[in-house]
Structure 1
Amino acid sequence: MKNTAHFDHWLPRVPKTLSVPETTLFDNLLMTVQKYPNKVAIEYYGASMTYSELLDEVEKLAGYLESKLNIQKGENVLLFMQNSPQFIISMFAILRIRAVVVPINPMSITNELEFFVEDGNIKHALIGQELYEKTAVPLVENKVLEQPIIAAYSAYTTPDEALGDIPEEAQMPAKDYPNAVLWSDVMKADTKISPYSGKSSDMAMIPYTSGTTGIPKGCIHTNKTIQANVYSAFFWMSLTPDSVPLTTLPLFHVTGVLHSALAPILAGSKMVLLTRWDRNYAVRAIEKFHCTDWINISTMLIDFLSNPELSRHDISSLEVVGGGGAPVPEAVGRQLTELTGLEYVEGYGLSETMSHTHFNPPQRPKLQCFGVPAFDVDARVIDPSTDKELGTNEEGELIVNGLQLFKGYYNRPEETEDSHITIDGKKFFRTGDIVKMDEEGYFFIVDRLKRMINASGYKVWPTEVESILFKHPAIQQACVVRAQDPKRGETVKALVILNDDYKDKVTEKEIIEWSKNQMAAYKYPRIVEFRESFPTTASGKVLWRKLQEEA
């Protein structure tokens, strides 16, 4: 049965249900430009861009994508950039021509990127220059990608007006590359574009998540599934045209793009955008631009609060500080309250639900708690072995139903079917997270049903890391578990059995250094421990749960 206990603590003067409009994400930008054409949309390392300027750049890029690259409606397009004005311009340009945005983690290495391109049937891409040089060149040389557009973030900065050090990636001057197109040449091109005719039902975005086997899966979202949470965030966080969000979460991620870009654009807010997290730049930006909203992750908040420069700046403009991805330690939440008077507003969501299904009421949040179900979300707790619904304070798997629920995994119908359960005629998504709900309808994470490591909010699947570790000639067996980390929350620990020939000839540190070049930075083991043997079942399967308990 759907729980309603949380309505007693609902946001004041906000309805308990939400009518999602039939307009599209691109319509949101159009309407904001009509209302606030000369209002600043983006502040970026000393430079600013108004909403009318943003739309003008979007139209130019969209015209090039349609008329020069012949990108079709419904075609998947890779967006491989760090936070930058070009990320936002690219996203809306892809949506403008009714193509599909496929945002990929900029920490991905070449073989990971190639998987996403092949799995997503992608031919065209918009890529940050630093990522192109480091990761994507082989895909163009091998003709996996055709004529990518390469963006140098420095084109949108004014270094003399910046509030501090500019990241190296945002300082790189634009370069020419064979078989690629410069962003600046795109903006100078004379192109035409057809009238916009987007539909709420159009596929709009395919963010990737990891599956239980460690193989990433694309989550199909339409304009409508995304709009459900754009409007939800807009109302719940009381965003206005005069809100000033600090945009530090990575925009490739659903939480970052939804809360720090899409919802602010709907409101007509000014986004203060950082390419890389920098606690000194962040505190100066809050003071200079009077930032009001900051959605982050616990590692950022911990670093921010430990900054000795913090006391020298006025951050009293902050009205909402919150986030998700990894629980905020209680001591850190209390430190934030002591400093600002604000309580941390935590939420919960997934790529499959385009960010949040739950959030804390800002006027009554609870620490170490991911909140109450969002607008029109039916969240229940079931016994994962029997599928029986459970009651208050009983621990079980969280299942959710709501308008923000994805349409399925891209080209994976069986996995889509396996990830859902039908109760009372409703289709629920099985989150794989073990939770409990208190008497007031607030939800708390207990454990993870699936074997996943949550490192600074990034999902790491042990089986994937293990498969890479097995490539090392010294490694006979590997079992990856999670370990606690004061900054990352959880981190990756590899238990390793060495081949006899390598015992006493290779060190734990050498394994870690080797791993850095084999997988994305958030995945490689920060801890390696050599073992002589692993506990196993009678059939020889490693008892990873026992090893996890020991860790």
Structure 2
Amino acid sequence: METKDLVEIVEDEVKSKREFIYNDVSVIKVVLQKISSNKEKVQMIDATSGKHWSAKQMHDSIVTLALQLMEIGIKKGDCVAFYAPNSDIHAIMLLAVWSIGAIYSGCMHTNPYREIYNVVVDSGSKFLISCKQNIETCALLMQEVQTLKKVFLIDSEVDDRGFISVPKLLQNNTNVKGERMIDELLSKSTLDDLIKINFSSGTTGRPKATSLRNRNLLAVLAIASEGFEIVTPNDTVAINSHFGHAGGTLMLAAALLQGSKIIVFANFDPSAYISWVEKYDITCAMFVPSLINLLCKAVSHPYKNFSLKKVLITGEVLSSLIADDFISKFNPSYFGQTFGSTEMGFSLVKPISEGITNVSTVGIPAIGFKAKIIEMGSERKLKANKIGEIRVKGPQLTLGYLNNEKANKESFDEEGFFKTGDLGYYSDDGHFYFTDRLLNFYIFSLKEKFSNRFKEIIKYNSLQVSPSELEGILFEHEAVKEAAVIGIPDSNWGQLPKAFVVLKEQKKDSVTENELIEFVSKKVAEYKRLRGGVVFLPQLPKSILGKIDKKALKLA
């Protein structure tokens, strides 16, 4: 299907021509049905251990764990915080939690104590799923959080310090009576049951607790519907993002709701990842731009017959230079950027028919979605090709932040559109673009506080400088492995662009700060120069999704 068959522009809003139709009310009910129908087919592989799970093994293990959790005392509406790496057992445990109507939340197992403490407290979690690596942190949490009842360890074969071994629980067998109990629980599910609490990136302060319900995750099937078809039943889907992040949950849901085979990754090493793609015939994956760049840097020649054919980009703006490099080296049949976030899922997606063309667009409204551009400083809708704030509304959109009425009022307009805080425009055919894909700067009077990615724009002498443009240029240098650009305060000019760079191992002694500054200066207008300097780091700080943590760089 072409774009004209999928969207239309009505009253200065770009709208999907189709509404999303709910054929069921429970994500986990559909997932269990899909898995059950696959029987002995390989349904999941843990990339780290290499363990294969047949659909039947996976189904029975989910039900077994769900029954064990119920006996221990977890019930519908309880929140369970996860503080463990991605793994096959993590996925089974997540799905077991959903099977009894409980709520999933969590963060990376490498996050410091303060992060998991905030997750447990802010989500109201009564139970914690963790790993042996964090056993001391878990013990401290049990002491300091009075509402925390029990801790489970996903990688311990025996109970330890009173913490419950998940592998030990899996040794129990399910039975027909137990399955009927789960079926009875699922029959009471509703579209508005809360099943996941995500925490925003915290770029505007303390992370906000975002509610995701059955209706939100069921609607992620929009990326599998006719015209998009990014995830299909025949795909083998890589889960690169942590399950605690919206991206990890969305891809897990999209794949399992289709009955697709999944490959679960605990970490990302570009060379190893490429070999895993070939080993497991991975056909579909979602990445953040920094991971795409690492894959490009890991190879020097084009790959022939690479199985990874559908690539979805999310999280932030991807340089067209890196996009073209990836396409030339890995030859996907589809390469598309999507516009989404913790709050809005995959709201804008590039149609499957566009393949590897038009890599700059962040897509068109997914099924059931509509989007508009609002003039800054007013609530006036703008027509095509006019720059303003992108706002979206649709079935994947959260119903709001938990216990945060102030944030809800600030984040949604009177028509229920989410204020993304991102500057962009839509073309005459309904495709959306970020402004830094179109312009190198944009001067305007800002009458209200915008959040999210727009805050990354650097303002030098009243001129807007795009960090992604400078990062793209730095990536052109043969010695640069990774790069991030931020704005630092300056009393004379407002902000100065400053770069943080990771050099390739074999090039660490071959380039200086001044050389990189001069390299960029030769390629940009005078006001875009790296006047804040260049700092060399052994690695860049990353968020739960693998995105470069620019907030941490600003504090460095």
- TM-score normalised over the length of structure 1: 0.74
Shift in Å at residue 216 of structure 1? 1.0
Distance in 2 (alpha carbons) for counterparts of 1:439 and 1:482: 27
- Worse overlay, 337-346 or 81-90: 337-346
Match of 1:95 among 94, 98, 102: 98
The equivalent residue for 2:23 is 21
Q: Residue type matched to 1:435 in 2?
A: G
What's 1:396 paired with?
A: 388
Tell whether 2:298 aligns with 1:294: no
Per-residue deviation, 1:141: 3.2
- Which residue is equivalent to 1:7? 4
Alignment of 1:97-112 (within 5 A): 97-112=100-115
Structure 1 residue 338 displacement after superposition: 2.1
Contact 1:346–1:359, Cα closer than 8 Å, also in 2: yes
User: 333, 346, 357: which one pairs with 1:356?
Assistant: 346
AA aligned to 2:380 is: K
Counterparts of 1:10-409 in structure 2, within 5 Å, are 16-44=18-46, 45-68=49-72, 70-133=73-136, 135-144=137-146, 145-152=148-155, 176-188=159-171, 195-197=184-186, 198-210=189-201, 213-233=204-224, 235=226, 236-259=228-251, 261-308=252-299, 314-342=304-332, 343-353=334-344, 355-364=345-354, 365-409=357-401
1:175/1:450 Cα in 2 relative to 1: closer, same or farther (>3 Å)? farther
Q: Is the 8 A contact 1:213 1:461 kept in 2?
A: no
Pick closer, same or farther for the CA change 1:421–1:305 going to 2, 3 Å. same
- Name the SS for the 2:195 alignment partner: strand
Listed one character per residue, the Cα deviations across residues 373-395 of structure 1 (whole Å, up to 9, x for unaligned) are 11121100112311111111211
Runs of 4 or more above 6 Å deviation: 459-462
Show the counterpart of 1:445.
Answer: 434
The CA deviation string for residues 461-516 of structure 1, in whole angstroms up to 9 with x for no partner, is 99xxxxxxxxxxxxxxxxxx97964466645676699xxxxxxxxxx999x99x99
Using the TM superposition, give the Cα deviation of residue 210 of structure 1 relative to its aligned residue in structure 2, in angstroms: 4.1
Residue 350 of structure 1, CA deviation: 1.3
CA gap of 1:7–1:321, structure 2 versus 1, over 3 A, is: same
2:53 partner letter: M
Report which stretch shifted further, 326-335 or 488-497: 488-497
Q: When the two structures are aligned, how many residues end up with a matched partner?
A: 459
Distance 1:101 1:399, change over 3 A: same
Q: Letter of the 1:429 partner, please give it.
A: F
Post-superposition shift, 1:139?
A: 0.6
Aligned counterparts of 2:60 and 2:490: Cα–Cα separation in 1: 55
Distance 1:372 1:37, change over 3 A: same
1:434 aligns with 2:446: no
Paired residue for 1:412? 404
Counterpart of 1:392 in structure 2: which amino acid? A
- Assess, with a 3 A threshold, how the Cα gap between structure 1 residues 38 and 524 changes in structure 2: closer, same or farther: same
Q: Tell me the secondary structure at the aligned position of residue 391 of structure 1.
A: coil
- How far did residue 150 of structure 1 move? 0.8
Indicate conservation of the 8 Å contact 1:493/1:528, yes or no. Answer: no
Q: Which amino acid aligns with 1:65?
A: L
> Partners in 2 of 1:490 and 1:234 — Cα distance?
36
Identity of aligned residues (%): 20
Instruction: State the partner residue of 2:515.
Output: none
Determine if contact 1:204/1:222 at 8 Å carries over to the other structure. Answer: yes
Q: Deviations over 1:51-84 (max 9, x none)?
A: 211121111221122111x122112211222221
Whole-Å Cα distance in 1 between the matches of residues 255 and 133 of structure 2? 27
- The range that moved more, 395-404 or 15-24, is 15-24
CA deviation string 1:242-264 (max 9, x = no partner): 211122222222122212x1111
Note the alpha carbon deviations across 1:92-115, whole angstroms, 9 max, x for none: 111111111113244431112111
- Provide the C-alpha distance between the structure 2 equivalents of 1:48 and 1:460, rounded to a whole number of angstroms: 42
Answer yes or no: is the 8 Å Cα contact 2:285–2:312 preserved in 1: yes
Query: What secondary structure does 1:257 align onto?
Result: helix
What's the C-alpha RMSD, in Å, of the aligned pairs?
A: 3.6
C-alpha distance 146-234 of structure 1, shift in aligned 2 (>3 A): farther
Measured after TM superposition, the shift of residue 348 of structure 1 is 0.8
Partner of 2:442: none
Q: Distance in 2 between matches of 1:92 and 1:350?
A: 22
Residue type at the aligned position of 1:41: Q
User: Which letter does structure 2 place at the counterpart of 1:220?
Assistant: S
User: What is the CA deviation profile of residues 7-45 of structure 1, one whole-angstrom value per residue up to 9, with x for unaligned ones?
Assistant: 35779xx97443122331111222112321111111123
In 2 relative to 1, CA 54–494 (structure 1 residues): closer, same or farther, beyond 3 Å? farther
Runs (5+) with no aligned partner, structure 1: 153-172, 463-480, 498-507, 530-551
Aligned ranges 1:507-526 → 2 under 5 Å: 522=549, 525-526=552-553
For 2:110 and 2:311, locate their aligned partners in 1 and report how far apart those are by CA, in whole Å: 26
- Distance change >3 Å, CA 23–CA 315, structure 1 → 2: farther
Alpha carbons of 1:78 and 1:357: their partners in 2 closer, same or farther (altered >3 Å)? same
Partners in 1 of 2:551 and 2:425 — Cα distance?
31
Distance 1:494 1:108 in 2: 26
Distance, in Å, in 1 between the alignment partners of 2:453 and 2:411 is 19
Q: Distance in 2 between matches of 1:417 and 1:288?
A: 49
Separation in 2, partners of 1:387, 1:211: 26
Alignment partner of 2:185: what SS?
coil
Query: TM-score when scaled to structure 2?
Result: 0.74
Q: Secondary structure at the match of 1:196?
A: helix
Q: Distance in 2 between matches of 1:177 and 1:20?
A: 44
Q: CA deviation at 1:176?
A: 4.9
- The residue that corresponds to 1:163 in the other structure is none
Q: In structure 1, how many angstroms separate the alpha carbons of the residues matched to 2:151 and 2:25?
A: 30
**Is the CA contact (8 Å cut-off) linking 1:493 and 1:525 kept in structure 2?**
no
Could you tell me how far 1:317 is from its partner in structure 2?
2.3
Residues 1:332 and 1:86: Cα distance change in structure 2 (over 3 Å): same
1:164 aligned partner:
none
Equivalent residue runs for 1:503-542 within 5 Å: 522=549, 525-526=552-553
